[in-house]
C-alpha cells in the first residue's frame, strides 16, 4: 500500500511540505462554525454556547428567547421599558394628582381644616375644667364665651368654648366600655360592637340635622355653627360612660341613679350654654317676644332630648333582652 509522501515520517518527524503548499489537516476545520462566547452581559444569547453552571445543558435550540448569561430580567421589566407603558403611568399619576386636589378642594369647601383644628385646640387644664363643669355645673357662675369678630377664641383659652376633643374621646371610650359590659355578660361579638358604634353615630347625625333644620324653620339668628352643635350634643357621651359602668357594677341601682344625675347635669349645662349662644340675637329683633319664645322652646327641646338618647343608647347594653 502506497502511503502519500505528505504522510511519510522519518525518525519520528514529519517531513516538511513543499514551499507554498498548505499543511495537512487531520480533522475538519471547524474554526468558522464555533464562535467564542460573547462578553458577560452583552449581546443576544449565542446558539450552541455552553453554560458552565448548567453542565451539558445548552442555551441553543431548546432555550430560544432565554435571557443571556449575566443579563437576568425581573418580572415586569419589559413593561417598564415599554414607552407606551411609561406614558400610561405618567398619565395615571397626573390624573391621581388632579383627583387628590379636587377632593381636597371640596373637603376644604365644606369642612375647613383650620376651623376643625380650632375645635381640637385644647390642653390639660381646659379638659379638666370642662369635665368638672359636665360633672357638676350647678355652682358655675360665668357662662359667657369670649368671641372675636373674625376668629373665635381657642378652647384652651376659654373653658366655656365648645370643643370636639372631649366628645370624640368620649364617643370612642363609650364604644370600648360597651364592649367591656357586653363581655362581662358573655354577649360580646364584633358585630354587636360595630352595631353599637353605628347606631350611636346615626343618632348623632339625626340629632344634628334636626337641630339645624329647626334653626332654619324657626328663622332664628345665631352664631352657632354645625360644629358647635355637634360638640354640645356630643357631651352626653361623657355621662353615658359612667352610666354603663354604674350599671355593670351595681346593676339597675347604679344605672338609673347615674342616669338621673347626668340627665340633670346635661340639661342644666345645655340650657345655660345655649341661652348665651341664641338668646342675645333674638332679643334684638323687631318681634323679639316671639323670637325669644321660639328660642327657649328650641333650647329646652334640645336639652330634654339628651337624657332620652342617653337612656336609649345604654339600656340594651346593661340589661340583656
Establish if 84 belongs to a structural domain: no
Q: What is the pLDDT of residue 47?
A: 47
Residue 201: pLDDT band (50, 70, 90) is very high
Establish if 45 belongs to a structural domain: no
**Contact in structure between 254 and 246 (CB atoms under 8 Å):** yes
Question: Rounded CA gap, 102 and 311, in Å?
Answer: 42
User: Is it the case that residue 319 has pLDDT exceeding 70?
Assistant: yes
Q: What is the pLDDT of residue 11?
A: 46
Establish if 120 belongs to a structural domain: no
pTM of the model: 0.66
Establish if 289 belongs to a structural domain: yes
User: Is it the case that residue 54 has pLDDT exceeding 90?
Assistant: no
Rounded average pLDDT over 292-304: 90
Establish if 167 belongs to a structural domain: yes
- Host domain of residue 220: 162-318
Backbone phi, then psi, for 74, in 5-degree steps?
Answer: -85, 160
**pLDDT top residue among 156 and 286:** 156
Establish if 15 belongs to a structural domain: no
Establish if 238 belongs to a structural domain: yes
Q: Count of domains in the chain?
A: 1
Contacts of 192 (CB under 8 A, 6+ apart): 182
Q: What is the CA angle 23-24-30, rounded to 5?
A: 100
Report which of 111, 118, 223 is spatially closest to residue 165, judged by C-alpha positions. Answer: 118
- What digits encode the pLDDT tens for the residues 258-293? 999 999 999 999 999 998 888 765 555 544 555 688
Establish if 263 belongs to a structural domain: yes
**pLDDT top residue among 3 and 209:** 209
Strands 9-10 and 13-14: antiparallel
Q: What is the CA angle 130-131-136, rounded to 5?
A: 100
Amino acid at each position: 500500500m502506497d502511503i502519500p509522501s505528505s504522510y511519510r515520517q522519518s525518525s519520528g518527524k514529519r517531513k516538511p511540505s513543499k514551499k507554498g503548499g498548505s499543511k495537512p489537516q487531520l480533522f475538519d476545520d471547524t474554526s468558522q462554525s464555533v464562535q467564542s462566547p460573547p462578553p458577560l452581559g452583552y449581546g443576544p444569547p449565542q446558539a450552541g454556547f455552553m453554560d458552565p453552571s448548567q453542565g451539558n445543558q445548552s442555551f441553543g435550540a431548546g432555550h430560544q428567547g432565554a435571557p443571556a448569561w449575566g443579563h437576568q430580567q425581573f418580572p415586569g421589566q419589559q413593561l417598564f421599558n415599554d414607552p407606551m407603558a411609561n406614558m400610561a403611568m405618567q398619565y395615571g399619576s397626573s390624573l391621581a394628582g388632579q383627583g387628590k386636589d379636587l377632593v381636597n378642594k371640596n373637603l376644604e369647601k365644606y369642612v375647613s381644616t383650620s376651623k376643625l383644628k380650632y375645635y381640637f385646640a385644647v390642653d390639660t387644664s381646659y379638659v379638666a375644667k370642662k369635665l368638672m363643669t359636665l360633672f357638676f355645673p350647678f355652682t358655675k357662675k360665668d357662662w359667657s364665651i369670649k368671641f372675636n369678630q373674625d376668629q373665635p377664641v381657642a378652647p384652651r383659652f376659654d373653658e366655656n368654648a365648645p370643643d370636639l376633643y372631649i366628645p370624640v374621646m368620649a364617643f370612642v371610650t363609650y364604644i370600648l366600655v360597651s364592649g367591656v359590659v357586653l363581655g362581662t355578660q358573655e354577649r360580646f361579638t364584633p358585630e354587636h360592637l360595630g352595631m353599637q358604634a353605628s347606631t350611636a353615630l346615626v343618632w348623632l347625625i339625626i340629632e344634628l340635622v334636626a337641630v339645624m333644620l329647626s334653626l332654619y324653620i324657626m328663622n332664628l339668628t345665631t352664631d352657632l355653627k354645625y360644629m358647635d352643635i355637634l360638640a354640645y350634643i356630643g357631651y352626653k357621651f361623657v355621662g353615658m360612660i359612667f352610666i354603663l359602668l354604674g350599671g355593670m357594677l351595681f346593676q339597675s341601682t347604679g344605672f338609673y341613679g347615674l342616669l338621673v344625675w347626668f340627665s340633670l347635669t346635661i340639661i342644666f349645662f345645655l340650657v345655660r350654654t345655649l341661652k348665651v349662644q341664641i338668646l342675645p340675637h333674638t332679643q334684638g329683633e323687631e318681634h323679639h317676644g316671639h323670637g325669644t319664645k321660639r328660642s327657649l322652646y328650641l333650647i329646652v327641646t334640645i336639652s330634654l332630648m339628651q337624657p332620652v338618647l342617653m337612656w336609649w343608647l345604654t339600656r340594651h347594653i346593661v340589661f340583656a333582652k
